[in-house]
Chain A
Amino acid sequence: MKKTFIIATVLSAFISLNSCKQNNSTSSENNSDTEKIKTDGSVEQQKSVAPPNVPAPVGDRAAKKVIVRLETIEKTGELADGTQYNFWTFNGTVPGSFIRARVGDEIELHLKNNENNTFPHNIDLHAVNGPGGGAEATFVAPGTEKVFNFKALNPGLYVYHCATAPVGMHIANGMYGLILIEPEGGLPKVDKEYYIMQGDFYTKGKFGDKGLQEFDMDKAISEHPEYVVFNGKTGALLGDGELQAKVGETVRFFVGNGGPNLTSSFHVIGEIFDRVYMEGGSKINENVQTTVIPPGGASIVEFKATVPGEYVIVDHAIFRAFNKGALGKIKVTGPDNPAVYKKNP
């Protein structure tokens, strides 16, 4: 009896060890596999596209060299109607240009600091395997440019941001964006893709105060933003900026959170996410109402537009939506679908 027990124990221990070993080897294989992907020798200059739009999907193309050019630009812009702010940006928008590549690509990143800027900047891309995510290699004074190369090893949706001291201030002023590394063969095709990034802003004046607003360091440190917005402005995804889809179309949002402080409870009122690439990684969750996106994190959400109407995009920490600006819309047009939704007279 005792002997059998010992054998069983040893056996089960062996099995579990072995399975651990296998798990380890598969995950490390994944990484070294992508490290070995050869590029086909062609070079793409990635065109910069302003949010909420994204560059075209990679599809089934081979890995290649992709040249990405980002310029840090300090500029005064609208944070809300009648309220201006001195934004610090990548390529002049908040969030910065969406970077799109595939696993195995060799990315040559050029970071230029506009000559009329006042402050030094750099970039940390969470998609990079290497010191500082490129921050050390791209530390640029106004009027200078630096270049670094990295190979995209891990598929996923990643945040990039400025990491120059004081880091919090650079991020709070809008220095963040997303970089998507698609898996081999690309993400499944959808009809519409949009790029949304949440950020919290700390102004001296209260929410709604007019005129040029200064950065308020005390509010930033105590994590009490006056504004929580999508794409750098209270109305960025409203009115003319409203996102569009047709009934029957599949929609994919690449959603990031620049922070610097607040975690987003990302939700679309009246929609259920059919699929969520949790934390922007490879695991897919289905049928999700609200997904959590931390500062410095991202998520890919997908849904099918089934019923026409206006759908409100919010951070479901709901006072942020209605009192601080975390509110956008997607308008779905097309024929009614009473079998799914019907309003009775």
Chain B
Amino acid sequence: MRVFVFICAVILNLGLASCSESPKSHPSTSVADHQLEFISSSKKMMKIDSGSYRAFIGKDSNNIIKVKSFYIDDSPVTNAEYLTFLKANPQWTRSKVLRLYADSTYLKHWKGDYQLPEKINPDAPVTNVSWFSAEAYAKSVGKRLPTIEEWEYVGLADRSSKNASDKPHFTDFILREYQQRKSNMNKVVRQGEPNFYGVYDMYGMVWEWTYDFNSVMMSGESRKDNTTNESLFCAGGAITASDLRNYAAFVRYALRGSIKANNCLNNLGFRCARDFKN
């Protein structure tokens, strides 16, 4: 009994913690938005037609995710693009950013507020950015971050098809791309092969923030995630995977579960999305 109470408390605690960290409910986001200076971006976006796919997670493995048509950046936001944003929005520079929005590793590979060291490629994906800063960037160019569902939908495509998830070597391909990131993350974007939609670098360069990255709970105790009563989590996100062989997806969801909105990682960047309106 005591054990049960304890487990409940832990779960409740986790749930609360994730709620309070949820970007959606963060009260301060709007404060940052007030000061945003809009900039123009010539980043190419690709139209992604509406469709559906079988969810990787969800108690019911036949859970079908429907995605509306939207646009997504054809490649991750680069250092140079991010620099333009910083020049218009100095409150997001390294020296001025609020700790609440970005931890101490924010843009730590940069030389100063507006300077890239020589070894960093301006056209490589920007990294060491927090969720808040990525969100602010997206707003400044009139876009938003893609949702997990949108990102995963685009990520299902290989070079020749919209949904390659049933192809036996697709997971291998992604895992190989992940392993090669260390040598790729400082390279120019859009150098590899685009996928079916004409979108580049979904796997081989950096992890990417998504709007609702922490709506899926991965507690770190990955074995338990399979059995915990998912309704106990505020986002109903205890992991029950539909495809136990999809190791690449497990890794992605684990990464999302391990980060907080103000974290900045060496290999975590982002790309933007926008609604499609007829």
Interface residues of A (CB under 8 A from B): 86, 115-116, 118-120, 122, 124, 131-132, 135-144, 163-167, 169, 214-215, 217, 221
B115 nearest CB across to chain A (Å):
21
Residues of the A chain whose Cβ atoms lie less than 8 Å from the Cβ of B259: 120, 141
Residues of the A chain whose Cβ atoms lie less than 8 Å from the Cβ of B178: 118-119
User: Which residue in B7, B179, B223, B255 is a CB contact (below 8 Å) of A141?
Assistant: B255
Q: Bound complex: CA of A122 vs CA of B221, how far in Å?
A: 9
User: Which residue in A139, A144, A167, A217 is a CB contact (below 8 Å) of B223?
Assistant: A167
Residues of the B chain whose Cβ atoms lie less than 8 Å from the Cβ of A142: 265-268
B247-278 interface code vs A (CB 8 A; 1 in, 0 out): 10011011101110001111110000000000
Q: Which of B70-78, B85-93, B94-102, B169-177 contacts A (4 or more CB under 8 A)?
A: B169-177
| A131/B265 contact (C-beta < 8 A), A120-B255, A165-B239, A169-B247 known | no
**Contact: B266 with A136, CB < 8 Å?**
no
Majority secondary structure, A binding face: loop
Closest 7 A/B residue pairs (Cβ)? A139-B220, A165-B222, A120-B258, A132-B221, A141-B258, A166-B250, A165-B250
| A165/B245 contact (C-beta < 8 A), A141-B263, A141-B265 known | no
Q: Bound complex: CA of A122 vs CA of B253, how far in Å?
A: 14
B224 within 8 Å of A (CB atoms): yes
User: Which residue in A132, A135, A143 is a CB contact (below 8 Å) of B265?
Assistant: A143
| A139/B257 contact (C-beta < 8 A), A132-B224, A217-B171 known | yes
Residues of the B chain whose Cβ atoms lie less than 8 Å from the Cβ of A138: 220
Residues of the B chain whose Cβ atoms lie less than 8 Å from the Cβ of A118: 178-179, 181-182, 267
| A120/B10 contact (C-beta < 8 A), A167-B222, A169-B247 known | no
**Contact: A165 with B225, CB < 8 Å?**
yes
A32 nearest CB across to chain B (Å):
15
User: Which residue in B171, B245, B247, B254 is a CB contact (below 8 Å) of A120?
Assistant: B254
**Contact: A140 with B245, CB < 8 Å?**
no
Residues of the A chain whose Cβ atoms lie less than 8 Å from the Cβ of B147: none
Q: Which of B193-242 contact A (CB under 8 A)?
A: 218-225, 239
B105 within 8 Å of A (CB atoms): yes
B7 nearest CB across to chain A (Å):
8
**Contact: B221 with A119, CB < 8 Å?**
no
A-B contact count (CB 8 A): 100
Count of chain B residues near A, Cβ 8 A:
37
User: Which residue in B181, B253, B263, B264 is a CB contact (below 8 Å) of A165?
Assistant: B253
B141 nearest CB across to chain A (Å):
26
Residues of the A chain whose Cβ atoms lie less than 8 Å from the Cβ of B251: 119-120, 165-166, 169
Residues of the B chain whose Cβ atoms lie less than 8 Å from the Cβ of A166: 222, 247, 250-251
**Contact: A136 with B221, CB < 8 Å?**
yes
A-B contact pairs, 6 of them (CB 8 A): A118-B179, A132-B220, A136-B10, A136-B14, A141-B259, A165-B239
Residues of the B chain whose Cβ atoms lie less than 8 Å from the Cβ of A115: 105, 265-266
**Which residue of chain B has its CB nearest to the CB of A163?**
B222
**Which residue of chain B has its CB nearest to the CB of A132?**
B221
Residues of the B chain whose Cβ atoms lie less than 8 Å from the Cβ of A135: 220-222
**Contact: A217 with B221, CB < 8 Å?**
no
User: Which residue in B14, B179, B253 is a CB contact (below 8 Å) of A86?
Assistant: B179
| A164/B263 contact (C-beta < 8 A), A86-B179, A118-B182, A139-B257 known | no
A213 nearest CB across to chain B (Å):
11
| A139/B179 contact (C-beta < 8 A), A164-B254, A165-B225 known | no
Q: Bound complex: CA of A163 vs CA of B7, how far in Å?
A: 19
Q: Bound complex: CA of A135 vs CA of B221, how far in Å?
A: 5
**Contact: B266 with A214, CB < 8 Å?**
no
A86, A137, A217 interface centre (most CB from chain B within 10 Å): A217
Q: Bound complex: CA of A193 vs CA of B218, how far in Å?
A: 39
**Contact: B247 with A214, CB < 8 Å?**
no
Given contacts A142-B266, A144-B263, list 10 more A-B pairs with CB under 8 A.
A122-B220, A132-B220, A139-B218, A139-B221, A143-B105, A144-B258, A164-B222, A166-B250, A214-B172, A221-B245
**Contact: A116 with B182, CB < 8 Å?**
yes
Q: Bound complex: CA of A230 vs CA of B243, how far in Å?
A: 32
Q: Bound complex: CA of A115 vs CA of B127, how far in Å?
A: 12
B179-197 interface code vs A (CB 8 A; 1 in, 0 out): 1011000000000000000
Residues of the A chain whose Cβ atoms lie less than 8 Å from the Cβ of B255: 119-120, 141
A326 nearest CB across to chain B (Å):
26
Q: Bound complex: CA of A144 vs CA of B105, how far in Å?
A: 10
A34 nearest CB across to chain B (Å):
19
Residues of the B chain whose Cβ atoms lie less than 8 Å from the Cβ of A139: 218-221, 257-258
Residues of the B chain whose Cβ atoms lie less than 8 Å from the Cβ of A136: 10, 14, 219-221
B254 nearest CB across to chain A (Å):
5
User: Which residue in B172, B179, B221, B239 is a CB contact (below 8 Å) of A163?
Assistant: B221
Q: Bound complex: CA of A285 vs CA of B182, how far in Å?
A: 49
Residues of the A chain whose Cβ atoms lie less than 8 Å from the Cβ of B223: 163, 167
**Which residue of chain A has its CB nearest to the CB of B264?**
A143
A11 nearest CB across to chain B (Å):
35
Q: Bound complex: CA of A118 vs CA of B247, how far in Å?
A: 15
B6 nearest CB across to chain A (Å):
9
B204 nearest CB across to chain A (Å):
11
Residues of the B chain whose Cβ atoms lie less than 8 Å from the Cβ of A116: 182, 266
Residues of the A chain whose Cβ atoms lie less than 8 Å from the Cβ of B265: 115, 141-144
Q: Bound complex: CA of A118 vs CA of B175, how far in Å?
A: 11
**Which residue of chain A has its CB nearest to the CB of B255?**
A120
Residues of the B chain whose Cβ atoms lie less than 8 Å from the Cβ of A164: 220, 222, 254, 258
Q: Bound complex: CA of A302 vs CA of B182, how far in Å?
A: 43
